[in-house]
Structure 1
Amino acid sequence: MFEARTRLQKAVIQAVVTLMALPFLFPLFAMVRGSLAGRGFGNYVKVFETGVLFTYLRNSVIVSVFAILIVYVCTMLAAFGFSKLRIAGKELWFWALLLALTMPEAVLLTPLFVTASTFDMYNQLIAVILPIAALQIPFATLLARNFYDGIPNELLEAARVDGATIWQAFRRVVLPLTRPIAAAIVVLTLIAAWNAYLLPLLMLNDPNRQVLTLLPSFFISQYTNDQTGVLAAAVIAALPMVSAYLALQKYFERGLAAGALK
């Protein structure tokens, strides 16, 4: 691993990292500063007084938890099959799955809306959960497959010699070794599900079904444009995600590094 040894090298690296971080830190600083304009912390009290904060928070938690569960289960099974099992044409199926990475979310909004309306899922959280999970599975499978490729095949062969089935070998031998990449997948899916905006905006019209990212729009209407309320709501919506990322940062970085190397 490369390491800065002299003070000059450390100063240059610190300067470069600081310059790279500024474009991301400045909008956050402006958001927090704007949320305190005028009434100060009274703007945050105003958000709580709307009476919808905890409803939106509950819905965001539901969407995030179920999206994580779906992505985790599908990714672990798919990556294991692509990496360790002999499946006819599996490389063709794998690259077909990766083609989904090229599909932008905005292009899929219309067919997703038609599908949700056809199956009577409009205004239901499942209409947001399933598309979010489907959009995360291809990249998560790519990361997980690279991680699985680094697990020796001898472990599976030893389990088979001991009489274990493929499912038992996967569940008892391989799956416990996937904790680093699983942590990265959980964090990536959590960020995507929590920060989702277009899908909830399109699919959830019922106020009791909306999520936390839609809370700032509560202060914007035809006759109202309360920017301090918008910024305060945005800060509140971002705090759980920032806290979760800081708590899981080391696991996320370790999992990404493990998934990037064979």
Structure 2
Amino acid sequence: MFEVRHRGSRMLLQLVLALMTLPFLLPLVEMVKGAFAGVGFQNFVVVWQTGVVPTFFKNSILLSMSVIALVYVGSMTAAFGFSKLRIRGKEIYFWMMIVALTLPEVILLSPLFVTFTKLQMYDTLFAVILPLAALQLPFAILLARNFYDGIPSELMDASRIDGANVPQLFWHVILPLTRPIASAIVVLTLINAWNSYLLPLVFLQDRSNQVVTLLPQFFIGQYSNDQTKILAAAVMTAIPTTLAYVLMQKNFERGLSAGALK
């Protein structure tokens, strides 16, 4: 970590950082402006009057919480094994798993469709929850493992001397120290799960199972494309993830920086 001491350098750095945020900030500003265009707040009222907003939000919350739970448990335990336990061939397994980061969702659609159809899971939330969790686990484990590598092994050695076994080491010694990286993993997983579009579009056909990212479909037709209502739906969809990031920002940034560096 470096420190900028001169006032001129600080001003220059702030200017550069401000310019770097513009490509990300301007589309958000235009989205909010477009959501209030025309009849203003009435756009949001029309979106609510579709009658599906509570159902879609409930399904998105259930989907996101389920994916977060699976990714959290899987990443915390797997990263502990990869980092702190002596397992034969663990580096081979680790890099085989990391290869999964190169797989895009679209190439998995056909095999997933066949699998879920045979298991009678098509058009259920499980058909989206399980693939989303599996796709996010490799990166979460990578971050968590790097964080675990920074935890001194002497803590484990001292606990072993006191008679603790491996589950007790993990639960009482290691896991309480992982709050920063856990916050980062939870926020990243929430954003990816909440904003997922392709998998819900393909695997969720019944309206009672659909999620908020499919809400704009109500304003897109063969002869219509109401952009103001689409943007209003997008703003409503973005609120929960924005609040989650704001509330967990400090731990998220600490965890992400710690998990990215050894």
2:164 corresponds in structure 1 to 164
Q: Which residue of 1 aligns with 2:19?
A: 19
CA distance in 1, matches of 2:139, 2:209: 28
Amino acid at match of 2:33: R
Measure how far apart 1:7 and its partner are: 3.0
Q: Name the counterpart of 2:74.
A: 74
Name the CA distance, whole Å, in 2 between partners of 1:38 and 1:173: 57
- Structure 2 letter corresponding to 1:22: L
User: Shift of residue 226 of structure 1?
Assistant: 1.4
In structure 2, what is the equivalent of residue 236 of structure 1? Answer: 236
C-alpha distance in structure 2 between counterparts of 1:65 and 1:240, whole Å? 13
Residue deviations 1:60-80 (CA, integer Å, cap 9, x gap) = 000110100000101111011
| Alpha-carbon distance, 1:224 to partner | 2.8
- C-alpha displacement of 1:199: 0.6
* Structure 1 vs Structure 2 CA RMSD: 1.1
Deviates more, 1:151-160 or 1:237-246: 151-160
The one-character-per-residue Cα deviations of 1:25-50 (angstroms, maximum 9, x if unpaired) are 11111111111111111101101111
Deviation at residue 3 of structure 1 after TM alignment: 2.5
Question: TM-score, structure 1 length as denominator?
Answer: 0.97
Is 1:97 matched up with 2:86?
A: no
Instruction: Give the secondary-structure state (helix, strand or coil) at the position aligned to 1:221.
Output: coil
Matched to 1:188, the amino acid is: L
1:81 Cα shift?
0.7
- Find the aligned partners of 2:149 and 2:187 in 1 and give their Cα distance: 22
- 1:52-71 to structure 2, matched below 5 A, reads 52-71=52-71
Distance in 1, matches of 2:153 and 2:144, equals 16
Displacement of 1:6 after TM fit? 2.8
Query: Following TM superposition, by how much is the alpha carbon of 1:2 offset from its aligned partner in structure 2, in angstroms?
Result: 2.2
Q: Which residue of 1 aligns with 2:30?
A: 30
Q: 1:121 is aligned with what amino acid?
A: M
Structure 1 gaps of 5+ residues are none
Instruction: Give the match for residue 209 of structure 2.
Output: 209
Report the CA distance between 1:118 and its aligned residue.
1.6
Which position in structure 1 is the counterpart of 2:182?
182
Secondary structure at 1:55 match in 2:
helix
Report the AA paired with residue 257 of structure 2.
A
C-alpha displacement at 1:10, in angstroms?
2.1
- SS in structure 1 of the partner of residue 88 of structure 2: coil
Q: Could you list the runs of 5+ residues in structure 2 that have no partner in the other structure?
A: none
CA distance in structure 1 between the aligned counterparts of 2:169 and 2:8, rounded to whole angstroms: 52
Moved more, 91-100 or 144-153: 144-153
Q: Which moved more, 1:185-194 or 1:144-153?
A: 144-153
Find the aligned partners of 2:179 and 2:220 in 1 and give their Cα distance: 43
Aligned-residue offset at 1:247: 1.4
Amino acid of the residue matched to residue 83 of structure 1?
Answer: S
Instruction: Tell me the CA shift for residue 158 of structure 1.
Output: 1.7
Q: Percent identity?
A: 62
In the alignment, which residue of structure 1 is the partner of 2:195?
195
For residue 260 of structure 2, what is the aligned residue in structure 1?
260
Length, aligned pairs only:
262
**Pairwise CA distance, 1:222:** 2.4
**In structure 2, C-alpha distance between the alignment counterparts of 1:175 and 1:247, rounded to whole Å:** 21
